[in-house]
Amino acid sequence: MKNKRNVFYRLLIILAGVIYFPVQAQQKNGAQGVVESKGVITSYGPKSIVRTIKQDRKGNIWIASWEGVFKYDGKSFTNITSKLSSARFFSVLEDRKGNFWFASVGSGVYYYNGKSFRNFTTKDGLANDRVTHIYEDKTGNIWFGTEGGASRYNGKSFQNFKMKAGARVTQSDSIHISAYQHPLPEDHWMHNDVNAIIEDKTGKLWFGTRGYACVYDGKKFTTITNKDGKPFENVRSIIKDKKGNIWLGGRDGLWRYDGSTFTNFTQKFVGYIYEDKKGNIWTSSERSNDLSKVLPDNRAKTAAWALSRYDEKSLSNKKPTVTEITNKPMIFGILEDDKGNIWFGTFDGVYRYEGKTII
């Protein structure tokens, strides 16, 4: 079973696009300066990996995919970045001013005001050009999770943070499951490969990395440990729910922190966490611990992941009510739109769950 589990996680890492060999993303129409772009309107959305789905204040759905960033207005799709960059896009954020930020793997981040773009890279002070996560804190600073640490942008300049002192990732580096069989060295580069950022109700920032998750109090980073004193490894998603609880999802499963106690809900690998308007918790997770069923013949695309809903009214129970909505080879971003539909991304595009049917 251990060997099968190792195979599963190795394939999982490869499929999720997290072995980051340098990507030569071509810049189009300029690089650092302001670029005008109207995008390309289509009748269909992305047909490849979708990583993040968000809805803006006007009701448009934004989809970050490996084909670009798409905007869906309810009738048609517009590939906003098709003429801008061939990079793979992982995340999208609408800031409090109504402007948009796109995270790419290979081309840094793009700022979009609805008419034109500005590209920020390491030349501007960004920690690394491979960026997978974007977050806006209470004061309006924009944070970027990169392969080389976290970058905070105050509107004028970047300040970079390392969770732990460590060597920079090189082209020869790759992530193998064997790395998690023993405690990671303090100087391992994976501690600075940031997947998720959230600010808690006390103002502290939580960082999920491919190494250990940590919390930043404004002065120092402290490794987060569960009730058994074990560090949280390879945390992919962190959210703060309506009650102020912090949820972590990753290699160690799904956990909730209420300010004093950690509670575990599943030990299956959790790749994404989302809270809907009713307070239900949605996850994308490894569907089965029986990897002989999950990975027949070791074919990666048969790896089953579940889109599951944890009922809000039962979250205080030892065994909450969990409903599996569907399963796919892999499930990424989750979103509830203003009509109550649930959107989620997979290997072959984006799906919408309408309560009874999945489109």
pLDDT tens per residue across span 137-181: 999 999 999 999 999 999 999 999 998 876 666 554 455 455 566
Range of the domain at 11: 2-353
Q: Domain of 52: which CATH number? A: 2.130.10.10
Give yes or no for residue 4 having a pLDDT over 60: no
Report the pLDDT value the prediction gives residue 102, as an integer from 0 to 100. 98
Report the pLDDT value the prediction gives residue 189, as an integer from 0 to 100. 67
In a domain, residue 359? The reply is no
Tokens of 123: 């030349």
pLDDT tens per residue across span 308-352: 999 999 999 888 999 999 999 899 999 999 999 999 999 999 999
Report the pLDDT value the prediction gives residue 288, as an integer from 0 to 100. 65
191 pLDDT band, cuts 50/70/90, is confident
In a domain, residue 76? The reply is yes
In a domain, residue 358? The reply is no
In a domain, residue 244? The reply is yes
Number of structural domains the chain divides into: 1
In a domain, residue 119? The reply is yes
In a domain, residue 128? The reply is yes
Q: Among 38-42, 66-70, 131-135, 267-271, name the one with the lowest average pLDDT.
A: 38-42
Give yes or no for residue 82 having a pLDDT over 70: yes
In a domain, residue 333? The reply is yes
Residue 282 belongs to what H/E stretch?
Answer: strand 281-286
Tokens of 3: 């060997």
Mean pLDDT rounded to a whole number for the chain: 85
Q: What's the rounded Cα separation, in Å, for the pair 339 and 326?
A: 20
18 pLDDT band, cuts 50/70/90, is very low
Report the pLDDT value the prediction gives residue 167, as an integer from 0 to 100. 60
pTM check: above 0.75: yes
Q: Among 56-60, 152-156, 228-232, 323-327, name the one with the lowest average pLDDT.
A: 228-232
Burial of 332 (0-12, 13-18, 19+ CB in 10 A): buried
R_g of the chain, CA atoms, integer Å: 19
pLDDT tens per residue across span 92-109: 999 999 999 999 999 999
pLDDT tens per residue across span 263-316: 999 999 999 999 999 999 999 998 765 433 433 334 344 468 999 999 999 999
Sequence-ordered list of residues with C-beta below 8 angstroms from that of 333, at least 6 positions apart, any chain: 50, 51, 52, 53, 54, 64, 272, 343, 344, 345
Tokens of 302: 């048969």
